[in-house]
Structure 1
Amino acid sequence: MLPKLRLAVVGLGRVSKSHLPAVRELSDKIELTALVSRDASKAEQEASQWKGVKTYTSYEEALQDPNIDAFLLLLPHDLHAEYSIKALRVGKHVLVEKPMAMNVNEAEQMVAAAEESKSVLMIGQSRRFFRPVVESIHRIRANEIGKLININALLLAHMDKPATDWWKDDSKIGGFIIPLWGSHIIDYVIWAYDKMPISVYAQGHSNNPNWSGEDEVVISLNFGEGQMANLLMSFNAGARATDEEGLTGKRIWSTQNSIYDRYLIGSNGMMHLKDEYELTLNGEKQAECERTNANFTWQLEEFADAIRENREPLASGREIIRVMKVMDACFESMRTHQVTPIQS
């Protein structure tokens, strides 16, 4: 039997509740070795649910632990680059939550650190890891709708207040709806086209005093050769009652409480992704899956397998730099009110 990947989880906030069950689900491949949190009581409380798990309040100390092979980083966006680079430079593998970084310059430094240490760097583009989503990519590659010429993506959700305090601070989050959800949609669009757009025109506004970043956004991407994508995102869609976290229902990213659709228009057909759970081709259902968090398990398994097989993972740092280039260009277009070229 191959040895298990010895993993440390850094950050025990809201999103850890999706990642930690995935670690447990993959106990045949992954051993949770350590938990890192500035809150010692929170780390100890979570560790009590596991066997033989160390706790650290110092990330620097955890980096020196020879029994840790890899880090899963669940941190505010402004810490993604710093914490990733520190781990990569001491030869640890890294799976870091999306967005990859605050900007493309940070992202390039992360990739350089991974390449220098020959470590795996993967970005948590977790919404790739649903069967209907993967199936849609396979069908695009097989030309089942002819040449892909347009992707129209629509996200309508309602949020009254941020789920965590650091979301209020633009210096920590780097915007609002674009890094929180746009990073997923932009990633899918680039993945589907398998090339970079050449320019973007974006408009964005903030309508809620509970944060400073954009909560209404329209993005138009030009891929050349008659190919485009149009993204419309809103966190103001409705005035429904909110729970104590400021979210409608369980989470804003529940299909019950949001509209999330992508229409992929080809020269000879159309596909429709309803959230990540259902794919239709020319009106006929092709694939569906249950509405669970299993995508975090599939994502973590891809990370572990890439390390074991000494290969680049799906959603590697080198690949997701493309998303950061587009996000940077979106913010520049919003600032200048101009069509902005995107570096290839």
Structure 2
Amino acid sequence: MLQKLRLAVVGLGRVSKSHLPAVRELAHKMDLVALVTRDEGKLRQEAEQWEGVKTYTSYDDAVNDPDIDAFLLLLPHDLHAEYSIKALRAGKHVLVEKPMAMNVKEAEDMALAAIENGVTLMVGQSRRFFSPVMESIKKVRANEIGGLININALLLAHMNKPAADWWKDESKIGGFIIPLWGSHILDYIVWAYDKMPISVYAQGHSNNPNWSGEDEVAISLNFGEGQMANVLMSFNAGVRPADEEGLTGKRIWSTQNSIYERYLIGTNGMMQLKDEYELLLNGEKQAECERTNANFTWQLEEFADAIREGREPLASGREIIRVMKVIDACFESMRTHQVVPIQP
């Protein structure tokens, strides 16, 4: 019988509520051996739910624990590189939440640390792991819509206040809508084309005083050879609350009621992804899945299986460097108001 992966979870904030059930569901493949957070109250509360789990308020102490094989890092974006590299250099495998890092230099340092220490680095591009999304990529690779020539992505959602205080600070989050949701959309586009765009033009603005980063964005990607992609994202698509008690009108938010569509146009057909839950090919339904958090389970299982099998995981650190290059180019274009070329 193969030894179970001994996992530590670092960070018990909002997103941990999606990851920890996945850890429990994969109990046949891994053991949660440690929880790590500086918040002692959260630490005690969560530890009560797990038998025999160690608790740490010091990340350095956890990194030095020989009973830990791998870390699941659920931290503010500005800590991703520092915490990942520290674990990787200690010979631990790392699954880090998206976006991979604050910039491509940090991402490259992370990937290099994984290579130099012979360990696995995977990035939590969790929205890859829905069956309709996977099926869409298979159909692109099989040329079922002919050659891919355009991807149009639309996200309309409403957020009035950030879900976490650190989201307000651009120095911790690295922007706003681009790292929060654009990192998923841009990852899908680069994954589908399986190559880098040759240039990017982006516009972005911040309209809400509750944060400093961009909440309205338009991105145009040129892949050359007649191939392109366009992304429109808004966190302003709804009516703001009139007071603390209620709303002045309908509010759009969450994957349950946002408008999230992707259209993949080929030389001989079109596919449509409705959120991550439904795929249509030339108007006919091809795949559908329930609106659950099962993608976090599939993602974590891919991490564990890749380690066990000694292979590179889907959404490995080396692969997601491509996404970080595109994100960096978006912010440079927004700053300079120019088309920004991207090196392969």
- Common fold, TM-score beyond 0.5? yes
Q: CA offset at residue 241 of structure 1?
A: 4.9
Per-residue Cα deviation, 1:12-71 (whole angstroms, up to 9, x for no partner): 000000000000000000100000000112111101101100000000000110100000
Give the percent of matched residue pairs that are identical in Structure 1 and Structure 2: 82
Q: Against the structure 1 CA distance between its residues 265 and 227, is the aligned structure 2 distance closer, same or farther, given a 3 Å change threshold?
A: same
The SS at the match of 1:138 is helix
Per-residue Cα deviation, 1:97-126 (whole angstroms, up to 9, x for no partner): 000000000000000100000100000000
Q: CA offset at residue 254 of structure 1?
A: 1.9
Q: Against the structure 1 CA distance between its residues 249 and 132, is the aligned structure 2 distance closer, same or farther, given a 3 Å change threshold?
A: farther
The SS at the match of 1:237 is coil
Question: Is 1:243–1:249's contact at 8 Å kept on the other side of the alignment?
Answer: no
Structure 2 Cα separation of the partners of residues 70 and 202 of structure 1: 37
**Structure 2 letter corresponding to 1:180:** L
Question: Is 1:76–1:166's contact at 8 Å kept on the other side of the alignment?
Answer: yes
Structure 1 Cα separation of the partners of residues 13 and 343 of structure 2: 35
- In structure 2, stretches of 5+ residues that fail to align are none
State the partner residue of 1:147. 147
Q: Against the structure 1 CA distance between its residues 250 and 311, is the aligned structure 2 distance closer, same or farther, given a 3 Å change threshold?
A: farther
Q: CA offset at residue 243 of structure 1?
A: 11
Structure 2 Cα separation of the partners of residues 194 and 240 of structure 1: 39
Per-residue Cα deviation, 1:283-321 (whole angstroms, up to 9, x for no partner): 000000000000000000000000000110000000000
1:163-178 equivalences in 2 (<5 Å): 163-178=163-178
Structure 2 Cα separation of the partners of residues 134 and 75 of structure 1: 27
State the partner residue of 2:255. 254
Q: Against the structure 1 CA distance between its residues 90 and 135, is the aligned structure 2 distance closer, same or farther, given a 3 Å change threshold?
A: same
Question: Is 1:242–1:249's contact at 8 Å kept on the other side of the alignment?
Answer: no
Q: Against the structure 1 CA distance between its residues 249 and 3, is the aligned structure 2 distance closer, same or farther, given a 3 Å change threshold?
A: farther
State the partner residue of 2:90. 90
Q: CA offset at residue 343 of structure 1?
A: 1.7
Q: Against the structure 1 CA distance between its residues 64 and 315, is the aligned structure 2 distance closer, same or farther, given a 3 Å change threshold?
A: same
State the partner residue of 1:211. 211
The SS at the match of 1:222 is strand
The SS at the match of 2:253 is coil
Q: Against the structure 1 CA distance between its residues 242 and 305, is the aligned structure 2 distance closer, same or farther, given a 3 Å change threshold?
A: farther
Q: In the alignment, is residue 120 of structure 1 matched against residue 115 of structure 2?
A: no
Structure 1 Cα separation of the partners of residues 266 and 21 of structure 2: 38
Structure 2 Cα separation of the partners of residues 118 and 274 of structure 1: 39
Q: CA offset at residue 255 of structure 1?
A: 2.7
**Structure 2 letter corresponding to 1:226:** G
Structure 2 Cα separation of the partners of residues 34 and 250 of structure 1: 39
Q: Against the structure 1 CA distance between its residues 251 and 128, is the aligned structure 2 distance closer, same or farther, given a 3 Å change threshold?
A: farther
Structure 2 Cα separation of the partners of residues 278 and 264 of structure 1: 14
Q: Against the structure 1 CA distance between its residues 183 and 226, is the aligned structure 2 distance closer, same or farther, given a 3 Å change threshold?
A: same
Q: CA offset at residue 252 of structure 1?
A: 3.4
Question: Is 2:239–2:250's contact at 8 Å kept on the other side of the alignment?
Answer: no
Structure 2 Cα separation of the partners of residues 174 and 235 of structure 1: 16
Q: In the alignment, is residue 38 of structure 1 matched against residue 41 of structure 2?
A: no
Q: CA offset at residue 236 of structure 1?
A: 0.1
State the partner residue of 1:312. 312
State the partner residue of 2:188. 188
Q: CA offset at residue 264 of structure 1?
A: 0.2
Question: Is 1:204–1:334's contact at 8 Å kept on the other side of the alignment?
Answer: yes
- In structure 1, stretches of 5+ residues that fail to align are none
Q: How many positions carry a matched residue from both structures? A: 342
State the partner residue of 1:49. 49
State the partner residue of 2:28. 28
The SS at the match of 2:254 is coil
The SS at the match of 1:72 is strand
Question: Is 1:302–1:314's contact at 8 Å kept on the other side of the alignment?
Answer: yes
Q: Against the structure 1 CA distance between its residues 240 and 283, is the aligned structure 2 distance closer, same or farther, given a 3 Å change threshold?
A: farther
State the partner residue of 2:291. 291
Question: Is 1:255–1:275's contact at 8 Å kept on the other side of the alignment?
Answer: no
